[in-house]
Amino acid sequence: MKDFQKNWQDLIKPKRIEKEEKSSSPFYAKFVCEPLERGYDGPIKMLVGMDTAGVLRGIIVTENREPYGYFSVDLPEFAEQFEGKNIRDPFRVGEDIDAITRATISVRSASRAVRNSSRRVARAELAPPEQ
């Protein structure tokens, strides 16, 4: 059980962030965070849009192998609930993220991936808010 816990913790935290310098500007940058989050039956790959204030502008699920994908992360409502969320929000399924019956692992994994990767990019690239 201890190895499983260690492996799970390593899986959900992006270890590497890659910034595409050639398309970057003071207002836009493209990042790739890996490893990709695993759902119930494999990786869930997503694009996450975030502004310079740490507010998510949208997500797109680009690929998944979830057996209930159509009932979970593929639904437009799943992606829409992230629009306007701040990276400081808790991203807790059943609280500020809608849970979906039969797709708990998929929804939790995808939510965790959005939260962890956006926070990691913000820590690395965004200035802290002025007080």
Q: Domain boundaries in the chain? A: 2-125
pLDDT digits (tens, 9 = 90+) for 43-81: 888 888 998 889 999 998 888 888 765 677 888 889 999
Distance CA 35, CA 41 (A): 15
- First-residue to last-residue Cα distance in the chain: 44
**Is the pLDDT assigned to residue 7 strictly greater than 60?**
no
| CA 125 to each of CA 94, 113, 120: distance values in angstroms, whole numbers, following the listed order | 30, 18, 9
pLDDT at residue number 27: 76
CB 63 within 8 Å of CB 31:
no
Percent over 70 (pLDDT), the chain: 79
pLDDT at residue number 117: 87
pTM of the model: 0.75
**Is the pLDDT assigned to residue 32 strictly greater than 60?**
yes
pLDDT digits (tens, 9 = 90+) for 67-126: 765 677 888 889 999 999 999 999 999 999 998 767 788 889 899 989 988 998 888 888
Confidence of residue 6 (pLDDT cuts 50, 70, 90): very low
pLDDT at residue number 14: 59
